[in-house]
Amino acid sequence: MSVHPIAAVLGGQVPLGRRTTVQGWVRTRRDSKAGLSFVTVHDGSGFEPLQVIAPAELPNYRGEVLHLTAGCAVRVTGELVASAGKGQGVELRAEKIEVVGGVEDPETYPIAPKAHSFEYLRTVAHLRPRTNSIGAVARVRHCLAQAINRFFHERGYFWIHTPIITASDCEGAGALFRVSTLDLVNPPRTPEGSIDFGQDFFGRETFLTVSGQLNVEAYCLALSKVYTFGPTFRAENSNTSRHLAEFWMVEPETAFADLHANADLAESLLKSIFRALLDERADDMAFFAQRIDKTCIQRLEQVIQSPFKRLDYSEAICILERANRSFEFPISWGMDLQSEHERYLAEDYVDGPLVLMNYPKEIKSFYMRLNDDGRTVAAMDVLVPGIGEIIGGSQREERLEVLDARLGELGMNKAAYHWYRDLRRYGSVPHAGFGLGFERTVSYVTGMNNVRDVIPFPRTPRSADH
C-alpha cells in the first residue's frame, strides 16, 4: 500500500475509490452515534488536514480510536471517497488505524485544539509547528527561500557560502558574539595582563558573522553576480518584535552596478518572491488572510503591481518637515530617521514599499560610496508599512583613496581591512548590494507581527531554550 502526503491526497493525485495510506498527527476527534468517528489528521504537507472516517467496526475502535486526542501519531489505510458531509470534498474511509505514537496525558498536551497565544506557543517551540499558524509559517519560509534562490539563479547570480566565523568586527554593524575555545575561568594572559587570543583556536580573536557582505564582495569582483543566504548573528540587547540575535539574511552583490540598478534588483526580487508565494502557497496565505491579517493577500498583489516609490533622503526630510503632524523627535537634514518618521513615510505618505536613497555620510557605514556632493553616500533602505526597514544596502566605495579617507575619518584600523582594500587595488569596479532581512520579509507577507514567530527556534536576549 503506497503512502501519500495529505496534500497529494487532497490535491487530486489519488483517484476516488483508490486505497491509500496517510501518516500524521491527530488534530481533533468527533464521535457520532451513527457508528463512526471523525478524525482530522495533518502531516504538514499542506495547510489542510484530511478527514478520516473511522467506522465503529474497526477492531481497535473502542480500545484506541475512541481515545485518540490531539497530537496522537497515526497511520491510516483506507479508501478515498467523496465526502458525505459538508466542509471537505474527499475523506478517507479507514480500514485500519494504527496508533504509531500516543499522547501520554491529553490534559497536559501543550497544543490543545483551541486558540493559543503566540507568546505561549514560544514556550513550547518544539511542539508549536503542529499548529496551523506555525506550520503555515514554516511552509511560507520554505517557499520564499526557494523563490529567492530561483530568482537569483535565473538571473545568473551564484550563491556564495560566506563564512559564519569571522575575524573582523568590521562594518560596525552591531555587537558580536565571541567564538573561542579558551578557558573562560582561567584564560591565558599576555605579559601585559590582557587575554592572549594568540593562544585561542584560530590564533586570534574571532566572532560569529554580522554580515557576509565584505566576504561576498570578493567573489563579486570575480564572478560578477553573487549572493549570500544564511544565518547572521548580532549580540545586540534588542528587545523588539523586529529583532533576533540569530536571523537569516539575503545579500546580493552585483559588479558594474550602481545604486539605481541595486534598487531595481531589490524591487524585482521582492515582487518575484511575493508572486511565487501567492502562486505556490495559496492555502497558507488564505489562512493568514482569514485569521492573522485580513489584508495580507491584497497587500502583496498591490505591491507586485505598482512600482516602488523612490525618494532621496533630502526629499524625505522636506516631506517630514512639511508633514501636517507633530513628531516626538523633530527632524532636520543630517539626522537619522526615527521609527515614527519611517512609519509616516511608509504608512501614511506612500502606504506601500518605499526606497529611500542617498543619506548623509555621517549616519551610514564606511564602505558606502561617497556621492559627488561630498556629503551624502549612495545608500538605500527599503521601508515597508508595519515593519520599517526590510532592506538596507548601498553602492560600495570602489575608489581606494576615498575609502582610505573614510577609514581615517572614522578612526578605523586600515591594516585590519587589508584584503578588503586589496579589492580596490586590483581591478576595482563599481558594485552594489543590499541585505534583505528574511524574517522581516516573512513577517511582512504573513502579517505575523513578531519575527520570533516566523523562525523555528528564536534566539533573543536571555532566551535560547530549545
Residue 159 burial class via C-beta count within 10 angstroms: exposed 0-12, middle 13-18, buried 19 and up: middle
- The correct pick among 313, 420, 440, 448 for binding RNA (CB under 7 A) is 440
- For RNA, the binding residues in 156-175 under the rule CB under 7 A are 173-174
C-beta of 104: minimal distance to RNA in Å?
12
- The correct pick among 28, 132, 224, 371 for binding RNA (CB under 7 A) is 28
Edge-to-edge order in the sheet of strand 206-208: 165-166, 206-208, 178-179
Q: Which residue has the cell 488572510?
A: 289
- R_g of the chain, CA atoms, integer Å: 27
Measure Cα distances from 428 to 122, 399, 431 in Å: 47, 8, 9
Cell of 141: 519560509
- For RNA, the binding residues in 323-352 under the rule CB under 7 A are 329, 336, 338-340, 342-343
C-beta of 110: minimal distance to RNA in Å?
6
Contacts of 252 (CB under 8 A, 6+ apart): 152, 157, 225, 226, 227, 265, 269, 433, 434
SS3 assignment, position 464: coil
Is residue 60 within the footprint of RNA (CB under 7 A)?
no
C-beta of 108: minimal distance to RNA in Å?
5
Is residue 368 within the footprint of RNA (CB under 7 A)?
no
Q: Which is nearer to RNA, 21 or 88 (CB)?
A: 88
- For RNA, the binding residues in 38-57 under the rule CB under 7 A are 38, 51, 53
What is the C-alpha separation between 278 and 63, in angstroms, rounded? Answer: 44
- The correct pick among 388, 430, 433, 447 for binding RNA (CB under 7 A) is 388
- The correct pick among 2, 17, 57, 87 for binding RNA (CB under 7 A) is 87
Q: Residue count at the site for RNA (CB under 7 A)?
A: 73
Tell me which H or E stretch contains 147: helix 132-154
- The correct pick among 31, 64, 280, 404 for binding RNA (CB under 7 A) is 31
Q: Which residue has the cell 499548529?
A: 131
C-beta of 380: minimal distance to RNA in Å?
11
- For RNA, the binding residues in 137-156 under the rule CB under 7 A are none
Q: Which is nearer to RNA, 15 or 85 (CB)?
A: 85
- For RNA, the binding residues in 195-214 under the rule CB under 7 A are 211
Q: Which is nearer to RNA, 197 or 272 (CB)?
A: 272
C-beta of 87: minimal distance to RNA in Å?
3
- The correct pick among 21, 69, 77, 149 for binding RNA (CB under 7 A) is 69
Q: Choose the binding region for RNA from 157-165, 188-196, 409-417, 450-458 (rule: CB under 7 A).
A: 450-458
Other CB atoms within a 10 A radius of the CB of residue 263 amount to 22
Q: Which is nearer to RNA, 10 or 53 (CB)?
A: 53
Q: Which is nearer to RNA, 312 or 340 (CB)?
A: 340
Q: Which amino acid is at 50?
A: L
- The correct pick among 392, 430, 433, 447 for binding RNA (CB under 7 A) is 392
**x/- letters, 104..123, toward RNA (CB under 7 A):** --xxx-x-xxxxxx-xx-x-
- For RNA, the binding residues in 211-250 under the rule CB under 7 A are 211, 234, 236-245, 247, 249
Cell of 216: 561576498
Helices of type H across 6-55 = 6-10
Closest-CA residue to 360 (of 338, 332, 383): 332
Q: Which is nearer to RNA, 249 or 311 (CB)?
A: 249
Q: Choose the binding region for RNA from 84-92, 149-157, 350-358, 409-417 (rule: CB under 7 A).
A: 84-92
Closest-CA residue to 168 (of 420, 434, 365): 420
Q: Which amino acid is at 302?
A: Q
Sign of CA dihedral 382, 384, 389, 391: negative
Cell of 348: 501614511
C-beta of 8: minimal distance to RNA in Å?
20
- The correct pick among 30, 126, 161, 178 for binding RNA (CB under 7 A) is 30
Residue 66 burial class via C-beta count within 10 angstroms: exposed 0-12, middle 13-18, buried 19 and up: middle
Q: Choose the binding region for RNA from 67-75, 162-170, 216-224, 259-267 (rule: CB under 7 A).
A: 67-75
**How many helices and strands, by DSSP H and E, does the chain display?**
12, 16
Is residue 435 within the footprint of RNA (CB under 7 A)?
yes
Q: Which is nearer to RNA, 296 or 382 (CB)?
A: 382
Inter-axis angle of helices 259-280 and 438-446, to 10 degrees?
Answer: 50
C-beta of 51: minimal distance to RNA in Å?
6
DSSP 289: I
